[in-house]
Structure 1
Amino acid sequence: MSNSLILSYRINASMKKVCNPSFSGPLCQFFVERQPAGEIIEVITTSESSNPLNAVPSSSASSLSGGGTDGKGNRGDHSAAGRSEFNPRCERARELIGDEVCLNRGVCRDSPDGTSYACYCSPGYSGSRCELLDFCFNITCSGHGQCRQFGARLDNFVCECEPGWKGVLCEISYLNACEAAFYNLPKDQLSICLHGGICIEHYNGSGFYCQCINGWLGERCGTHFTQVGQC
């Protein structure tokens, strides 16, 4: 992926979310459903597929901040007395917020007991409604580095390049063939060419060969031989 493509999708991190009525949260990802009898239901979504959070019934709006979860998808203590029958959670969520309950092609699924739902996100996305993009997803750094994400904009990433590589995406090699081969040696091997051999780069930079000293031969000068003199 070119950096110019990434730069064209910048996000203004200073933008503030103004939620529609019945929604809350920094990304408007929580919605509050008012039941006919005045009971308030906070339905929380999660991208953790193994721990969908339960819908939390409460008798007053103030109790919405009094319980919730412990951060691991486990529901806090709330009374379920007087709770009315529910439609399936995903269907009810669609009625309130439209078809895109889960963003970016995420999939909404009800819990087995039908009292909660969770968003199962597409690769590269996370968040309660799959609203968060993993900036490093699909950025391979040309196979010569590791992508690190920072900040809140799509261009806030850096490729930490392996030795011998540089550039925004680690796409530029600055070592000759012998130097590049040296960095790929096993840790217990200290030289490309063994037994005093000398590494020489091919004239076109396509590779290297080892110039061995007397008594040694082979691709890496690893084979010993005895020269037999003439009688």
Structure 2
Amino acid sequence: MSNSPVAVVTGASSGIGAATARQLSAAGYSVIVGARRVDRLLAIADEIGGQALPLDVTSDESVTQFVAQLDRVDVLVNNAGGAIGTDTIADAKPDEWQAMYSTNVLGTLRMTKALLPKLIESGAGTILLVSSTAGLGVYEGGGGYTAAKHGEHAMAGTLRLELSGQPVRVIEINPGMVKTEEFSLNRFHGDQAKADKVYAGVEKPLTADDVADAITWCITRPQHVNIDTMTIRPIAQASNYKVHRVLPPER
């Protein structure tokens, strides 16, 4: 059996999760990937020599079944999450807010609670939460997502206090504008034109690999070094709502 440290990555079927799985594997970790789309997971696990297990972080039963198959865990990357919709609060759909809270906040809670004993037992555990700059500020049309990510941000700070004295680090990564194939597409309910408009004129938004590189760097620091919070944005993005765009010339 391998003596490599074991990393669990949730939401690993695409985007930041998949990129993180690849980079942690390259850094010497045995990686266990979890998500609902098992066909994609199997392809990633085969690529990196890892293990794929079905996982729905919104389900207690699924999380219990996932964790029961694990003997050792040194790192937990809570990546599963996402945004749905851009309605104002006046027009908000409670079911969309519920879905975002269930994945981003309660999903992170379920996984962290279930794996905490193994992380402590490892003697050198790391919990990393992939939050967002939406957890540090607000903007119109983002009430549900910013509320969920503020909840995740609060969870990271609380965990760090509650685990003081335990051999477990708590790291929070807050990406800004990241162009992946699915994040904005999901937010706009599959409307590709609206999803593309988010990145229109932005020469170099962040990529999933950029964020995975930051995640892997934080995790691979010496165990006594805790990168509490890292905010990572493309140079074109000064804040959640100020983005430099290179517009095409007028005809």
TM-score under structure 2 normalisation?
Answer: 0.22
Bigger fraction of residues in strand: 1
Structure number with the bigger relative contact order (C-alpha 8 A, sep ≥ 6) is 2
Larger radius of gyration: 1
